[in-house]
Amino acid sequence: MMSERVFISHSEQDTRNFGVEFAKSLHAGMTILLFGDLGTGKTVFVRGVCEVLGISGVRSPSFTLINEYKSPSGLYIIHSDLYRLDNEGVYALGLEEYVDERDCVLFVEWPERWENPPANSTKIFFTALNENEREIRIVSLKQEADA
């Protein structure tokens, strides 16, 4: 079953708070694909998610390609940005290694560059409505058990 949720953010803080809220439904082994143009709030959202997990200082992975954080509770947050990569580059990055890991959650910006993302990924679409407003749409496959 598919579930969809739309949120309108009016500020950077709103988007961060939405990340804090989203973190409640986070579980190890998840892959979350973050779609949207430059500057639409994908990194800000991940910062909010991490904040509530006790991880501060989240930086954009635009240049590092992949950032890894560990929460005090032992959960690894892998935050990647594929903007600068092609198919081969994505393959070389080895994202697959983090998929379905018991103690990992994977967030991917510019997932269009990833040829074969996990089919059960949660997808979040960020759209700028104007300078300070963003539409954030979450599409996830719900398991029968919690449908």
Ligand X SMILES: Nc1ncnc2c1ncn2[C@@H]1O[C@H](COP(=O)(O)OP(=O)(O)OP(=O)(O)O)[C@@H](O)[C@H]1O
Interface residues with Mg ion (CB under 5 A)? 42-43, 60, 109
Instruction: Give the number of residues written for the chain.
Output: 147
DSSP 79: E
How distant is the alpha carbon of residue 6 from its chain centre?
16
Closest approach, Cβ 62 to Mg ion, in A, equals 6
* Residue 3 contact partner, candidates Mg ion, ligand X, none, CB within 5 to 8 A by sort of partner: none
Restricted to residues 11-40, the positions that interact with ligand X (CB under 6 A) are 11-12, 14-15, 36, 38-40
Give the residue closest to Mg ion by C-beta.
Answer: 43
How distant is the alpha carbon of residue 84 from its chain centre?
17
- Residue 101 or 127: the one with the smaller Cβ distance to ligand X is 127
Binding of residue 80 to ligand X (CB under 6 A): no
Could you say which of 9, 31, 121, 140 contacts ligand X (CB under 6 A)?
9
Q: Do residues 117 and 32 make contact, with C-beta atoms less than 8 angstroms apart? A: no
Closest approach, Cβ 81 to Mg ion, in A, equals 6
- HEC-encoded secondary structure of 52-77: HCCCCCCCCCCCCCEEEEECCCCCEE
* Residue 89 contact partner, candidates ligand X, Mg ion, none, CB within 5 to 8 A by sort of partner: none
- Residue 103 or 112: the one with the smaller Cβ distance to Mg ion is 112
- Residue 28 or 38: the one with the smaller Cβ distance to ligand X is 38
Which token pair is 47? Answer: 């910062």
Sign (positive or negative) of CA dihedral 36, 20, 76, 64: positive
Q: What is the DSSP string of 91-123?
A: HHHTGGGGTT-TTEEEEEESGGG-SS--TT-EE
Stretch that binds ligand X, among 24-32, 42-50, 72-80, 97-105 (CB under 6 A): 42-50
